[in-house]
Structure 1
Amino acid sequence: MSRRSMEGQVVVVTGAARGIGALLARKLAARGARLALIGLEPDELKKVSESLDVDSDWWEADVTDHVAMARVAGEVAERFGKVDVTVANAGVAAGGPFMDSDPDAWRRVVEVNLIGGAVTGRAFLPLLAASRGYFLQVASLAALTPAPMMTAYCASKSGVEAFAHALRAEVGHKGVRVGVGYLSWTDTDMVRGADEDDVMRELRQRLPWPSNKTYPLGPAVDRIVAGIERRSAHVYAQWWLRGMQSIRGYLPGLIGTVGRREMRRFEPRLAAGGTHRGLVGAGGQADENARTSS
């Protein structure tokens, strides 16, 4: 599919205060897109918006809040007159054994990643239908393969992948294209936060190549931008993720066997309470702060 010019297109990005969302906004702005930024950190959102040499604005909102997101969608439509692309990027993560996990943190990962993507779609799909636009749901390698100590994240990302595939079939006749974005471990606050946990970091390092590497943010976002320009059904932020699609059916059995061995290795350290129980990274902290203050 040929690339479309982003000049003058209005793009909504959730989770835009930092990491993937912030850099995506900057790279889309460099191509002439107008940006509507949504997130939980007003100071960071303002900095990103002010750094863009295009028409842009920002909104503080929790993507799991139907009322707030509907209000934001109405204000974005009033501010820009249309929406051409919406990127459901907001996400949080928590790690550690499920049996010892914090129930509130576990639930919140699913709420933000899965419910938040659906709430974002519900709010902006009428505008995308009017413009015959594009909805990109950011998923993960975690949607393609299970991973021990990441039950909430894997469940949520598998869920958003299925949500996007089902949605594509529903809205295609309206002229709306729906894509799923896949990323492996990418150099963001979330991944760096997870790596602060010694067990999580070592477990990840023991994964087979190339899934044991942390990839630079810039090239990953460049691939996402290219996918948006093409309005692709599948967007792969690292080259090798496309090949995972053909073998994903074999991965649960393989991970089940290998994971049993690795978890046995780490069991003594886990029993000593050596794993972080809450949301990880600066974005996770921002989410916890916002919920505490509200």
Structure 2
Amino acid sequence: MDAVIITGGSSGLGAAVVAAVGKAGGRPLVIDRQPPADGVEWVECDLADTRAAEAATRELIERAGTVDGVVTAAGFDVPGALADVPGEVWDRIVTVDLLATAAVIRAALPALELSHGGVVTVSSTLGIKAVGDATAYCAAKFGVVGFTRALAAELAGRIGVTLIIPGGMRTRFFDERDDRYKPGPDAVLNDPAHVADAILFALRQPPGSAVREMVVAAERESSYP
């Protein structure tokens, strides 16, 4: 494994994947609005602009000369009832979490075909179990599930495709929420490094073998099954 593009690589799960790729001797390449860890190559990009996301992907591939993997770890949510979430916020959640996922992968396909590389998309346990006050997030993450399953069928034998379904993790994902939408004091959250390890396992599969889907969560994850 050499060059791996990681969206959202400046924080949370994305940063954990950056660290894991670097530790494994790979070359993490980040697309994000904020800078990643010192020394990590990146392109500044607002993933809500999907054409810009495609351009950023192509720029990183041109810099690296090749790419062996793409991990679409970027994602966010603003929970609330459908009537209470402004339309532009609702749209942005779906765009960043779903449409940018497709945009980055689309731009990387030619390079991934040459390297017979791998794609790992990141959904959520709320991509297989719907809850209230999360219509945008559930729409996006359910969409990632359907998109990834269709992509795996489309690219079988050419590019490895894996769907990761993580449960709640100890990241800043919940920091800016109203208290009622934050994990309670008894919540058990997973270490994002564990999910990153699962992602690397998927990317390291030999030709002819693919890990199609993995749920990675704390043993007492309340949103799964």
TM-score relative to the length of structure 2: 0.88
**Structure 1, residues 159-189: CA drift from partner, whole Å, max 9, x if none?**
011001101111114x111111111111111
1:1-294 correspondence to structure 2 within 5 Å: 6=1, 9-41=2-34, 44-45=35-36, 48-50=37-39, 56-173=40-157, 175-194=158-177, 197-201=178-182, 205=184, 212-230=187-205, 231-238=210-217
- Using a 3 Å threshold, how does the CA distance of structure 1 residues 72 and 119 change in structure 2: closer, same or farther? same
- Alpha carbons of structure 1 residues 145 and 86: separation in structure 2 relative to 1, 3 Å: same
C-alpha distance in structure 2 between counterparts of 1:157 and 1:70, whole Å = 20
The CA deviation at 1:152 is 0.8
1:65-121 alpha-carbon deviations (Å, 9 max, x no partner): 343233323322221111110011111101111222222111111111011111111
Normalized per residue, which structure has more helix?
Answer: 1
Structure 2 runs not aligned, ≥5 long: none
Residues 31 and 57 in structure 2, CA contact (< 8 A), matched pair in contact too: no
Q: Distance in 1 between matches of 2:59 and 2:28?
A: 13
Question: In the TM superposition, what is the alpha-carbon distance from 1:216 to its structure 2 partner?
Answer: 2.5
Compute the displacement of 1:38 (Å): 0.8
Instruction: Give the % identical residues.
Output: 27
**Partner Cα distance (1:225, 1:192) in 2:** 27
Question: What RMSD over aligned residues (CA atoms) do the two structures have, in Å?
Answer: 2.4
The verdict on how the C-alpha distance between 1:226 and 1:102 changes in structure 2, with shifts beyond 3 A counting, is: same
CA distance in 1, matches of 2:116, 2:65: 14
Query: What per-residue deviation string (whole Å, max 9, x for no partner) do you get for residues 49-70 of structure 1?
Result: 42xxxxx511011224343233
Paired positions, count: 220
CA distance in structure 2 between the aligned counterparts of 1:107 and 1:144, rounded to whole angstroms: 20
Q: Relative to structure 1, is the Cα distance of residues 97 and 73 closer, same or farther in structure 2, using a 3 angstrom cutoff?
A: closer
Query: Unaligned regions of 5+ residues in structure 1, if any?
Result: 1-5, 51-55, 248-294
